[in-house]
Amino acid sequence: RLWPVCVSDSQTAKQAGLVKQAFEAQRAMLMKASKAKQPGPAEMQGVAKDTSELVGQIQGCATTDRRAADYHHRQAMSEAIPAIGWVMVEKTPGPHVNDMWECGAFNQTKILTEYKGKSDEHVAFARSMGKIFTDLAAYIKEHHRTGLTWNPKGVAVTELAAGPPAGGAPPP
């Protein structure tokens, strides 16, 4: 389960669902990278399109109504989610994730302060949000320290997008 029970507000629940979809889209992109040669900048925009569109939708769930009960919840994720754009950062993507999480951490701290001793669910929500981004930074540090790793012996990324040949997949 991505978020604790406190995600009951329809907009927060919608945002949480979009976050899950964004990480699934990024996982699919990472699977492509393991099978394909590094594409050029124009092709890379296409590869990252699904994730990028979801980031925009997640940010669209933020609210300007500071009196909303879930203001800090939605704002924290809205400000931190650009971290998954690390795949577009060459040489050192880890600091990008950390920088984006710092933006979200301000509102995470507000949640922790407001709900400490009042609601374990909201505190768990805030902590799980932080864990997502610290785990992402650790993953990048271990597997993609100098940028998204592609398969130098792989196929063109456009071949992966095309799917199996018209006659179906070859027999095993």
- The pLDDT of residue 69 is 85
- The pLDDT of residue 24 is 95
CA separation for the pair 114, 95 (Å, rounded): 29
- The pLDDT of residue 66 is 81
The secondary structure of residue 86, as a DSSP letter, is G
CA separation for the pair 102, 45 (Å, rounded): 26
User: How much of the chain exceeds pLDDT 70, in percent?
Assistant: 88
- The pLDDT of residue 63 is 80
CA separation for the pair 107, 26 (Å, rounded): 24
Q: Convert the pLDDT of each residue in 20-47 to its tens digit.
A: 999 999 999 999 999 999 999 888 988 9
CA separation for the pair 84, 97 (Å, rounded): 7
**Of 42, 29, 26, 36, which is closest to residue 157 (Cα–Cα)?**
36
**Of 53, 59, 65, which is closest to residue 100 (Cα–Cα)?**
59
Q: Convert the pLDDT of each residue in 51-62 to its tens digit.
A: 999 999 999 988
* Mean of pLDDT over the chain: 86
Whether residue 48 contacts residue 29, with contact meaning beta carbons closer than 8 Å, is answered with yes
Segment 114-118 mean pLDDT: 93
